[in-house]
């Protein structure tokens, strides 16, 4: 029979000597459904599982399309940048970050943002702007950049995909080789950007269908869930440590992208 989430949860329960269930709701003493989901996502983050890897292009956050709006630079005290399309908040601009201006006549530089509203970026007092109005400009670009920097360059911000668990590589540079990026909340920060204002990321995505889980992943999930249940249900620290040690042995060192835990699964990916 096809394996289910309940089957895996029961294997975890049995590892700590607890009773089997037919539904998650049966365990009224704990939130077993949430514990299972958390244990699954934790194991996904432990290594670049081949069955969960996905490659996609991600566009820079805060990149405004200025071809159908008016952008105005106001040399006030403080200086401001206004957007007739009121897109600053929805594009992710935040106080404390930077806005990089490219393609204007007089304001091509980075500015630090003091406050943000839908239609106005108010800049810190020390940053001055030159009065300028650009209407439906096809060359003007406004980028959101983080205060975090690699070297002397502030990082671009890229919004993580909605099914994101962990980053394996950015533009072909894998995380085990001194990656030039870091995670920060819902964003990836990196100096990398291409001519299309994108990066190519390979990431571990959230997989929830147990029919796609290879056997090594199932074994690891059972151990991780059981280790958490050993505390929640049994309050047995020693058992938890033994289960975690077994999990470490089971997973071992991180896989390379082409290593075949997929050999252990007959699931169609």
Where do the H-state alpha helices sit in the chain?
5-15, 32-46, 215-232, 237-251
Give dist(CA 24, CA 9) in Å, integer.
9
Which residues lie below 8 Å from residue 186, measured CB to CB, with a gap of 6+?
159, 160
Please state the pTM of the whole predicted model: 0.82
pLDDT per position in the chain (269 positions), as tens? Answer: 899 999 999 999 999 999 999 999 999 999 999 999 999 999 999 999 999 999 999 999 888 889 999 999 999 999 999 999 999 999 889 999 999 999 999 999 999 999 999 999 999 999 999 999 999 999 999 999 988 777 667 899 999 999 999 999 999 888 776 678 888 899 999 999 999 999 999 999 999 999 999 999 999 999 999 999 999 998 999 999 999 999 999 988 543 333 444 434 433 43
**Domain boundaries defined on the chain:** 5-49+214-264, 58-205
Closest C-alpha among 67, 201, 107, 90 to residue 144:
90
Distance between start and end Cα atoms, the chain: 19
> DSSP states of 179-209 as a string?
-SEEEETTEEEES---TTSEEEEEEEEP---
Q: Rg of the chain's alpha carbons, rounded to an integer?
A: 24
Give dist(CA 62, CA 204) in Å, integer.
24
């Amino acid at each position: 029979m096809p394996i289910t989430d309940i089957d895996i949860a029961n294997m975890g329960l049995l590892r700590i000597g607890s009773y089997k269930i037919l539904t998650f709701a049966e365990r009224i003493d704990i939130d077993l459904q949430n514990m299972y989901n958390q244990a699954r996502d934790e194991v996904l983050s432990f290594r670049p599982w081949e069955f969960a890897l996905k490659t996609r292009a991600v566009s820079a956050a805060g990149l405004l399309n200025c071809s159908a709006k008016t952008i105005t630079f106001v040399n006030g005290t403080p200086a401001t940048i206004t957007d007739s399309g009121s897109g600053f908040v929805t594009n992710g601009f935040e106080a404390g970050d930077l806005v990089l201006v490219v393609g204007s006549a007089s304001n091509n530089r980075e500015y630090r943002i003091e406050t943000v509203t839908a239609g106005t970026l108010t800049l810190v007092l020390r940053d001055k702007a030159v009065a300028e109005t650009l209407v439906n400009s096809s060359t003007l670009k406004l980028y959101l950049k983080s205060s975090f920097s690699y070297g002397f360059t502030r990082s671009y911000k890229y919004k993580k995909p909605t099914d994101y668990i962990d980053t394996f590589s950015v533009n072909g540079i894998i995380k085990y080789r001194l990656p030039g990026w870091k995670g920060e909340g819902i964003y990836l920060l990196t100096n990398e950007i291409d001519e299309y204002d994108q990066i190519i990321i390979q990431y571990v995505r959230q997989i929830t269908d147990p029919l796609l889980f290879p056997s090594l992943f199932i074994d690891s999930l059972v151990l991780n869930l059981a280790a958490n249940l050993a505390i929640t249900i049994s309050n047995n620290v020693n058992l938890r440590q033994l289960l975690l040690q077994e999990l470490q042995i089971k997973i071992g060192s991180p896989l390379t992208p082409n290593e075949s835990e997929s050999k252990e699964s007959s699931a169609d990916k």
